[in-house]
């Protein structure tokens, strides 16, 4: 919260290859930009203290044999 979140991946389509998508706005943003649905394209070289990222890992449920308890 309170920062623009980098959400773009290398696989996504973008208007310019040197840009990435950030979402949600930062603590300096207005109400419209502070919504998680708001997206913005930014230059890869741009540095801003209101940019952040969220580390996440997808969990894969293991399949168990029927003989295991």
Q: How do residues 15-47 score in pLDDT, each as one tens digit?
A: 677 888 888 888 888 888 888 888 888 888 888
Of how many residues is the chain composed? 69
List the beta bridge partners of residue 14: none
Percent residues over pLDDT 90 in the chain: 0
CA angle 60, 65, 67 (to 5 degrees): 150
Domain ranges of the chain: 1-55
């Amino acid at each position: 919260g309170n920062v623009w979140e980098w959400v773009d991946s290398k696989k996504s389509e973008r208007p310019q290859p040197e840009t990435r998508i950030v979402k949600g706005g930062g603590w300096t943003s207005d109400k419209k930009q502070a919504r998680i649905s708001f997206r913005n394209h930014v230059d890869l070289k741009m540095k801003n203290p209101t940019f952040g990222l969220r580390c996440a890992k997808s969990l894969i449920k293991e399949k168990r044999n029927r003989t295991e308890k």
